[in-house]
Amino acid sequence: MKRKKVLVEPEISEMIFSDEKIKISKNGEKYFFESSNGITSDLGEGVSMMMRVCDNKSKVWDLEIENYNECDPEKSLYWLTGGRQEWNLLENYNRPWCDCYLDFQEEFGILILGIIKKSKKLSDIRDSFNKYLNLPTLYDFAISKSFVK
User: Domain locations in the chain?
Assistant: 14-144
**Bridge partners, 64 (sequence order):** 121
pLDDT at residue 13, as a whole number: 77
pLDDT at residue 28 greater than cutoff 90? no
pLDDT at residue 69 greater than cutoff 90? no
pLDDT at residue 3, as a whole number: 58
pLDDT at residue 2, as a whole number: 55
* Contact residues for 14 (Cβ-Cβ < 8 A; gap 6+): 25, 26, 27
pLDDT at residue 58 greater than cutoff 70? yes
Is residue 125 a contact partner of residue 61, using CB atoms and an 8 Å limit? Answer: no
| Residue 30: pLDDT band with limits 50, 70, 90 | confident
Is residue 110 a contact partner of residue 146, using CB atoms and an 8 Å limit? Answer: no
pLDDT at residue 12, as a whole number: 62
Percentage with pLDDT > 90 across the chain: 79
| Residue 82: pLDDT band with limits 50, 70, 90 | very high
Mean pLDDT of 85-99: 95
**Listed range (2-16, 47-61, 115-129) with the worst mean pLDDT:** 2-16
| Residue 9: pLDDT band with limits 50, 70, 90 | very low
Residue among 99, 95, 124 nearest 112 (CA):
124
